[in-house]
A and B are shown apart, each in its own frame.
Chain A
Amino acid sequence: MPKVTIDGFSIDVPEGTTILQASRILATEGKMPDAHVPPAMCYYTKLKTSGGYCRTCIVKVSKGSEKDPRPMPKPVPSCRQTVMDGMEVQNLTAPDLLEARAGVVEFLLINHPLDCPICDQAGECHLQDLSYENGNAGTRYEFARRTFDMIDIGDKIKLHMNRCILCYRCVKTAEQITDGRVHGVISRGDHAEISTYIEQAIDNDFSGNVIDVCPVGALTDRTFRFKSRVWFTKPMDAHRKCDKCCGKTAVWLSGNDVLRVTARKDKFGEVEDWICNECRYDKKQIGDWTIEGPRKIERHSVISQNHYESLRQLKVDISNQKKLLEVAHVADIKQN
């Protein structure tokens, strides 16, 4: 099995594993702090051919492999680059790479409306996290931002194209898990937009999953729109007997009201199992669900500032703290 080293943390992984997957394994197994996992805005494990578009996951390969130790000339997308034996990868430890990533973040933001105060995704938005962690405080862009009209995709989904970063995840979801593709991209360059074949607005049992895969607030659930900020709701693991999907979901409560239902997401923001539209939109009574208990939200975003983590997670792991301090140090270098 090839051995790869990421920011000094080593692991043996099966042939064909990507750098991103390897670093997620390292983090999941507790061998590396989460912060060293490259951010991924377009890659999605469950979606074939995803990744490679957004370029936020770029890393520096300082040693190609044992056989060919030359460094790779350009930053590579870690979600697509597979590991070789002896490969050495730098993420947080390479200031020039962090600078390049800050550039990518800036590109993603120049045409983004930054309307977080009125965006339903705020608090659980990957673009927010990404820009807090990798971006710069100000903007150097002084021109009008591009705008599109909002579109209703059926009666349950709102497409807010202004916020879209063209990660192609929803397009691939429509292609791969819903039957009959009605999702695609039209136009070119910075006018490119997500589009559906409007007359046939997405209408099948799994279409709601495009909401969950969207890393930003471009696709939102119309049954939840403007009901509450996510951080005022309580996420609970819940399940019901469903003959269409696994029936295992996260329900977001306010008191005893079910404000919304989503799939359960892991700490990298990816759903564990797709859920059907019936579970998502039509089961909004607390009695529809068997509540299992509070859901741990392990992500680093605003939402985790709430109090839902279990005590186990709050336990301080000294060695991790030390590594994190080093990370903080790198972040300092970046700012200077």
Chain B
Amino acid sequence: MPTKLLLNNEHIPGINTLQVYRNNGGYASVEKALKQMTPEAIVEEVKISGLRGRGGAGFPTGMKWSFLAKPAGVPRYLVCNADESEPGTFKDRYLMEKIPHLLVEGMITSSYALGCNTAYIYIRGEYFYVSRILENAIAEAYAAGYLGSNILGTGYNLNLYVQVGGGAYICGEETALLESLEGKRGNPRIKPPFPAIAGLYGCPTVVNNVETIAAVVPIVNNGGEAYSKIGIGKSTGTKLISASGHINKPGVYEIELGIPVEEFIYSDSYCGGIRNGKQLKAVVAGGSSVPVLPTELILKTAAGQPRLMSYESLSEGGFQTGTMLGSGGFIVMDEDTSIVKNLYTFTRFYHHESCGQCSPCREGTGWMEKIMHKILDGHGTLKDVDLLWDIQSKIEGKTICPLGEAAAWPVAAAIRHFRHEFEAYVMQPSSIKDVKHYYRLNNIEPIPA
């Protein structure tokens, strides 16, 4: 039985209520942290655990926490990033919907560790119903004395708020999120300063993903040492993977980091293989921003080693032959999938979501989408493929926030690994007769001339 730390109680009826949650060991970490541990000791446990940010970048959480500036007389904030808008990623929603108290508990324990008396959960607008679930859970926690003033009689005060966003992908970028939380336009800030020094309302702030904060609960309960024994190498603990695409059993799976990709795709405990008996063609392993890999490179590294579900193994080979674990949005494509069409969808998304502050991303994302549209329409040429390559290289690394890179990488990877498909597309436009049908199916409006 694989270890589960977050979703172990997901099937217990009523686990979304405080009563049932507590009967199953819930809120133990709050009791333990507030009554038996100092904030520094918790930060230390998180460091020992090796927990890495689950929002995409994989930055060590303990280290991030220890960077938090602590000037006297200035409030500090913990902000939970529940904006989850990366195409292919839906794990945070699953967790908040099923076990909302796990996030609330993690917020309390983490806030205590960071010395925050106010904390926020910023949730994307489309998850409106989930925000209701969270608000109910928070109300229950207030009533039970886990939130508010003098929590459990320890003298620690914490207020926790849910803020619903307007439904913009860019508001998942941590500084855009903070701007939005302050009630402004969700534009990423130019760094430095980093949030750890000047974040929300100019005060030191930690921004963490939902899953990262939830993982603090088992770390405090069982100790960082125990957590670090799960997983492989520097990829410790468990990870929620949002599996989607042409598989028999799409859904959210909690895996121990380090299981082979092949096992994840084909085992009945996870995705259950490719549906309709088809062959695997390609996988986007960590949400739409990370490079797509063809079958031979996703199952094995270029060196012939089995590829594992871990930060290190997935990125082995750099972008030439590797990819990233990212946010764990695992999109599987079977042999019938057109990479060209898939890429069009991605370019369309990033064009739509660019905030428009910096020139390369604002202009480049729209340009790439238009070229992809032209190719899909059957008017593309070989030159367009080269142009796409050139445009993505001129966006990458020249932007304010990583959305520019997130828009460039999928284009680069699709051309790097599937150039032949683009060439076929531009040389035999007849192969795309179904374009109109594709538009109707996906409710895409043709771009105005």
Contact = CB atoms under 8 A, between A and B. Distances in A.
A184 B187 CA distance: 13
Nearest to B357: A53
A192 B398 CA distance: 20
B366 A189 contact: yes
Interface in B323-372: 351-360, 362-367, 370
A94 to B, nearest CB: 14
- Interface range on chain A (Cβ under 8 Å from partner): 35 or more
Interface residues of B, number: 29
B358 A53 contact: yes
B354 A189 contact: yes
- Between B190, B351, B399, the greatest number of chain A beta carbons within 10 A of the residue's beta carbon is seen for B190
Contact of A55 (B398, B448, B449): B398
Nearest to A112: B363
Interface string A64-105: 000000000111010010000000000000000000100110
Contact of B398 (A100, A140, A143): A100
Contact of B363 (A77, A187, A190): A190
A118 interface: no
Contact of B356 (A56, A103, A140, A188): A188
Nearest to B366: A190
B353 A55 contact: no
A110 to B, nearest CB: 5
B113 to A, nearest CB: 31
A111 B387 contact: no
A185 B355 CA distance: 11
B359 A107 contact: yes
B353 A189 contact: yes
A141 B367 contact: yes
Contact of A143 (B365, B370, B397): B370
A77 B359 CA distance: 12
Given A100-B394, A108-B359, A110-B363, 16 more contacts: A52-B190, A53-B359, A53-B400, A73-B397, A74-B398, A100-B398, A107-B360, A143-B367, A166-B359, A168-B357, A188-B354, A189-B356, A190-B365, A190-B366, A191-B356, A192-B356
A52 B221 CA distance: 44
A54 B168 contact: no
A144 interface: yes
Nearest to A166: B356
Given A74-B397, A103-B394, A55 B356 contact: no
A315 B393 CA distance: 43
29 contacts: A51-B190, A52-B190, A54-B359, A55-B358, A55-B398, A75-B397, A77-B190, A100-B394, A104-B394, A107-B364, A108-B359, A108-B363, A140-B387, A143-B367, A143-B370, A166-B359, A166-B362, A168-B357, A184-B185, A185-B185, A185-B356, A188-B168, A188-B354, A189-B351, A189-B354, A189-B355, A189-B366, A190-B363, A192-B355
Interface in A129-186: 140-141, 143-144, 165-166, 168, 184-185
Contacts of A54: 358-359
* Shortest Cβ-Cβ A-B pairs, 7 listed: A103-B394, A192-B356, A107-B363, A52-B190, A189-B354, A74-B397, A190-B366
A218 interface: no
Interface of A: 51-56, 58, 73-75, 77, 80, 100, 103-104, 106-108, 110-111, 140-141, 143-144, 165-166, 168, 184-185, 187-192
A188 B349 CA distance: 13
Contacts of A166: 356-357, 359, 362
Given A55-B360, A192-B356, A106 B394 contact: yes
B360 A104 contact: yes
B363 A144 contact: no
Nearest to B399: A55
A28 to B, nearest CB: 26
Nearest to A101: B398
Contacts of B354: 188-190
Contacts of B170: 188
Contacts of A51: 190
Contacts of A184: 185
Nearest to B363: A107
B351 A104 contact: no
A111 B397 contact: no
Nearest to A81: B192
Contacts of A73: 397
Nearest to B448: A144
Nearest to A75: B398
Interface string B274-298: 0000000000000000000000000
